Each structure stands twice: as structure tokens, then as C-alpha cells.
A and B are shown apart, each in its own frame.
Chain A
Amino acid sequence: MTIMLERGARQGGQGRQRRQGTLPRLLAGGRKLPEHRATYGQIPLRRFAGEDGRRMLVRAITEAGLRGRGGAGFPTGRKMTSVAAGAKRPVVIANGCESEPASRKDKMLMACAPHLVLDGAVLAAHAVGADRVYVCVERGTSIADRLEREIAHRDDPVRWKLVRVPRRYVSSEESALVHLINDGDGRPMAAPPRPFEKGVAGRPTLVDNVETLAHVALIAGYGPGWFREVGTRNDPGSTLVTVGGAVARPNVYEIAPGMRLGEVIEAAGGAVEPIGAVLVGGYFGTWVPMPDGWGLPLSHDRTGPLGTSLGSGGIVALPAQSCGLAETARVVRYLAEESAQQCGPCMFGLPAIATDLAAVAYGRCDPATRQRLTRRMAQVKGRGACRHPDGATRLATSALATFADDVETHMDGWTCTGVSRDPVLPLPDRRHRDRSWK
């Protein structure tokens, strides 16, 4: 099933007819509560009333096979089950920070369908027995204020708290959100305990991406069978992707997992110039060579020789004329700067890797540099308190594989003209990057 519609193609005001396998699902409603209710109906809390209802809801999410849309693709029903099994009353965190520069699907979802996210958060809270929901969004934007205004129109059985999170790449990692809420420090913490065991105020804490929560609302309303009408067996439902780079219509799209990479590029209007590779999964993702990777089916399962997955859903088409090594060196430098500087391998390893990559990209490369780079990447992977170093090294590793021919050329002392082209991968403006962790 590979239907895709742009956000503009609205089908509002259909009430309960949304029981067919068409897209869009998430971006079909309205910004305001009345429009939202007209499209999606009332929040189905009554149907899941009481302890039995609560269990039924968790079972529905599990049967639907929903997987987290925040990057890792972890099964949401399983996480809910663990959180609900704790001794204390749980807490829910809706993660809407979207620190990933190559992604803006969460921001678009919160702008276009805020009440779907909020409905989902209320239902998730009910599913695990929580009475408090923390909505975490990036500081310095209008998102928090807008959500606060929408929440004021609602009458929910939970207490809401908006949390304005420092604009740092790693502050949106789940333990960093817990840390910020508990102690006012937005840096990740070491596990164990993980948030689902012991999070906000020592309670079991369900951290879910805002898109995940929107799907929770849809599953509660239309059922697991409906949810599974699109997507793959392992990765059902629709999912949001942000397509950027050298395509005619860069935008957020709602797709069904299983769709091929080339079809996603076509759906975004196709390439505007020859494409050499596509970055899939944002800055913790992998470079896929084109046109070889055209037929790669995208989902939250790892696939292809490089273990490509949709991750956070950021997809960027790189022109063949651009230098993928230079692009990667620049992004890995950014990721190194964004380290919370708490763990040795992340604090020292990522800058060292970024420097080696720059050497490879800008023609100061020799076999020893490449060897050192490979060794360093293997050394850093898996050794941080959070997965930041793993994501950065995955990106770098895939660059060396996908742009292997370029590496050879650069090693021979040739620097390609690509390095002087304007960068394609987006990075946040320095003025929009917080220095403080508070």
C-alpha cells in the first residue's frame, strides 16, 4: 500500500467515515478543537473506562503493532505494559522537541493537528494509569504557547504541564527530559534506571514521541485492524517523513512503511537534478547510494547493506554534484558540538572523528587517516551513556561506505568540486542553538 497525499490535500469534515485504508490519517483534521472533533470524533475514553478498559487499550495498541516514531521504532504497547507494571503511579512525557535538523514532521503535526496529539497523550496516560502529562517542546518557538492555548479549550482528566526544552540535540533524549523536569538539567543520564522504570519524581515514565501519541489516538478510535490496513506486517500504520534536499516539493509527507525510497522521492515531486545518494533517518541515519537504493523499502526495521531505517523520518536527497563526505563531516562536527560532554568517548571521540572526516573530505587524507577513522568509530560506538555517539558513528560509517569511490579519489590527492557547493544538509542557525543546559 503506497498511497501518499500532501498535507494540502485535506479531507476534513468526514466524521467517522475514516474507516478505510486511505491517507492522510494524521494530517486530515483541523487545528482547532471543533474541526478536530468533526473529523475524528470524541476522544474514546468511555469505551476504555475502568481498569479492564485500561488493559483493553494497552492490548489494542499492542495488537496494532504501533512502533515509536521518535527514532528507535520500539513497540509502544510493550513500553506501556512495562510502565503500567511499576509500583508507583506513572507519568507521561509527550516528546515534541524534534531536535533533529532534517526533520520537521513533529512541528507540523503539532501545528496542524494539536488535538490529535493531545488526545493521544490523554489516552496513553489512561492506558498506563497516569494523571500527569508533560508536553516537551523546543524553547524559543511559539509551539508551547500555542499548545497551552489549545489545552485551555479542553477538559481532560489529566494535569498538563508544558516544558520548554533547551535547543540542544541531545536534550530531547528521554533521560535528558526526565533530568530537566526533575533537576532543571537537560543533559542525558546514565542507565539504569531507565525512565520507564524510574523517571519523573521517581515514577515509571512513559516517554513517547508526539507522532506516536497521535497514532495512539487513531488506534483507540478506529481499532488495530484499521491501523494495520496500511504499512507492513512488522511496521503497520502510516508514518510521517520530512523530505528535503534536491526534490521539487520538499515537505512533510504521510507514507505507508514498505514504500520504496525512489517512490518517496517521486512523491516529493522527483529530483530536480541528478541525485547521488539519499540520507535516510536524519542525522542518526544512513546514506543510501542512488540509483542503486531506489527500490529499498523504508520502514522502522533495518534493511539493506547499511542497516537503513526510517528512524526519525528525515530524508534528504543529495545532488550527485555535491560531496557527501564534506556534508557528513559538517554534520558530524555539529553532532560533536552538541555532545553533552559527559562521557569520555563522546566528548573526545566525536570531535576526533569529525576532524578525520574533514581530512578525508578536503583532500588531506592518507591511508593512516582512514584507518584511524575506522578504528575510532568502532571504539566510540555503544560507549556513551546515551545513543548519541552510536547515531553519529552510524552516519559516518555509512558515508565511508556509500562514498567509498570519493574516498579513493580524495586519497589520491584530488578534491572534488563538490566541496565548494553550498551545503545541502540543514543545520540550525547558531543563534537558535542554546548554550545552557538549564
Chain B
Amino acid sequence: MTAPNPEGLRLQVDMIKCVGHASCFELLPERVSLDEWGFPIIETDPLPQHLVAHARRAVAACPTLALRVDGKVARVR
């Protein structure tokens, strides 16, 4: 069940757009937890295939369009 999706899609958040308090956490607790200030801590490794559709639903539900599902890595560290 946990095989990563073949396209390497990841759930990522734009922290500048995110306002916290957390519909993504409710929709996708498998990949999202909350910090003590109510902001999402997102698991950004490639999504398992069975969660891709759920992740897209969380993206659609985010009120500030802060979430995305794509193959790009936001930060090179």
C-alpha cells in the first residue's frame, strides 16, 4: 500500500500563504500534523499512490491556495 507514486508527486505548502488552523490536517492526517501554533507540518516525501487523490482534495480545500501537489522540490538544502 505504501509504494510511492510513479511521478514522484509531493504535497507541499507555501508557508507565506498558509494561515493555519488546518483543514489539510483534517483531510489528510496521514501526511499532515500540526505544530503548537496550529500550522501544518507536512511530510514532503513523495506521496504513496493511494494518497494522491486525498492530497489533491486537501489542495482543493485549502482556503488560501497554499498547498500544491507536484514533483518540484521547493527548497534545495
Contacts and interface: CB of A to CB of B under 8 A. Distances in A.
Contacts of A189: 16
A315 B63 CA distance: 45
Interface in B2-49: 14-18, 20, 35-39, 41
Contacts of B41: 379, 383
Contact of B74 (A191, A344, A346, A349): A191
Nearest to B68: A192
B77 A382 contact: yes
A343 B37 contact: no
Contact of B14 (A349, A379, A385, A390): A385
A313 to B, nearest CB: 20
If over half of A's interface residues share one DSSP class (helix, strand or loop), that class is named, otherwise mixed; here it is: loop
Contacts of B38: 344
A191 B77 CA distance: 13
Contacts, number: 50
Contacts of A344: 15, 18, 20, 35, 37-39
Nearest to A372: B36
A184 B33 CA distance: 35
B77 A190 contact: no
A382 B77 CA distance: 9
B59 to A, nearest CB: 15
A79 B7 CA distance: 26
A190 B37 contact: no
Interface in B56-77: 72, 74-77
Interface residues of A, number: 20
A127 to B, nearest CB: 21
Nearest to A375: B36
Given A345-B35, A379-B35, A190 B74 contact: yes
Given A190-B74, A192-B72, A382-B77, A345 B37 contact: yes
Contact of A190 (B17, B20, B36, B76): B17
Contacts of A343: 15-16, 18, 39
Contacts of B37: 344-345, 348-349
Given A191-B74, A379-B41, A342 B35 contact: no
A202 interface: no
Given A344-B37, A344-B38, A383 B74 contact: no
A183 to B, nearest CB: 14
B15 A384 contact: yes
Contacts of B39: 343-345, 348, 383
21 contacts: A189-B16, A190-B16, A190-B74, A191-B75, A194-B76, A342-B15, A342-B16, A343-B18, A343-B39, A344-B18, A344-B35, A344-B37, A344-B38, A344-B39, A345-B15, A345-B37, A348-B39, A379-B41, A383-B35, A383-B39, A385-B15
Given A344-B20, A349-B35, 8 more contacts: A190-B15, A190-B16, A343-B39, A344-B37, A383-B15, A385-B15, A387-B75, A387-B77
Interface of A: 189-192, 194, 342-346, 348-349, 376, 379, 382-385, 387, 390
Closest 9 CB pairs of A and B: A344-B39, A343-B15, A348-B37, A190-B14, A342-B16, A190-B16, A385-B16, A385-B15, A191-B74
